[in-house]
Amino acid sequence: MADLTEALLGDEEIRKALAEKARAEAEKAKAEAEAARLSSRIAEIQLAQVDREEQDILAEDGMNHVYHFNSSVTEGSVKTCMNTLSRWARQDPGCDISVVVNSPGGDVIEGMALFDHIIDLRQRGHAVHVTVRGMAASMAGILLQAGTTRTVGKEAWVLIHRAAFGAIGKSFEIEDKVEWVKRIEARIIDIFVQRSKEAADAGTATKPLTKAKVKKNWERKDWWLTSDECIEYGVADRVA
């Protein structure tokens, strides 16, 4: 009888041990499953974060060939802009390029270099869309004329005025400088009149500019144009 009792007690201990082992294995499996679920969730979050970062990068202006010219027209600002536009043109031949301008103007010679650069890009098959936000004053207003399309914001302003240069030297040197500046002004007028004529031919300009009109309105004063006036005179193609 004692032997039977001991055997039964032994079996009970074995069953308890087996049950404890089964519970331990179940707990371990549960923990492993939870860890796997958590790991999977972390991986999903990390993947979503990477995707968001990628989408943010793809949405950046630089990735979409949008350049913001928000400074005076100087050697440095022109060089940076030209280098950026050239890089985009090399990386993506024929791509559309947008230049958003908010500038008080600046150096005419440096500005004309950028003007010619934009024209060159257009001749190589790139549509260069120039948009004014805030203002395009002086040389910046001339840069607006380089665009394949010219857009001004509803509350944007464009300033047209005569070229400003300093001169030091003998009287004939100053006279020569004045004569050169007058030749630059003639080229500026030609640029505005030509683009205005194109706008009139396209049916957007109702009061296209003439050389006489430009000379009259910029004589000894700054000529500020509202967005509506820009359309009327053919200085821009659309308001947006």
Domain of 73, in residue numbers: 63-239
Domain termination site, one of 59, 76, 108: 59
- Max CA separation in the chain (angstroms): 138
Mean per-residue pLDDT of the chain: 89
Same domain assignment for residues 109 and 160:
yes
Domain termination site, one of 59, 76, 94: 59
What tokens does 138 get? 């002086």
**Domain CATH code at residue 221:** 3.90.226.10
pLDDT of residue 151: 98
Same domain assignment for residues 142 and 170:
yes
What tokens does 233 get? 């005179």
Same domain assignment for residues 46 and 164:
no
Question: What would the mean pLDDT of 93-118 be, rounded to a whole number?
Answer: 97
Q: How far apart are CA 7 and CA 1, in angstroms?
A: 10
β-bridge pairing 128-137 and 97-103: parallel
Same domain assignment for residues 89 and 189:
yes
pLDDT of residue 96: 98
233 confidence band (pLDDT: 50, 70, 90)? very high
Same domain assignment for residues 196 and 130:
yes
Same domain assignment for residues 125 and 216:
yes
Report whether pLDDT(54) > 70: no
Number of domains in the chain: 2
Same domain assignment for residues 28 and 129:
no
Domain termination site, one of 59, 81, 103: 59
Same domain assignment for residues 20 and 100:
no
Report whether pLDDT(204) > 70: yes
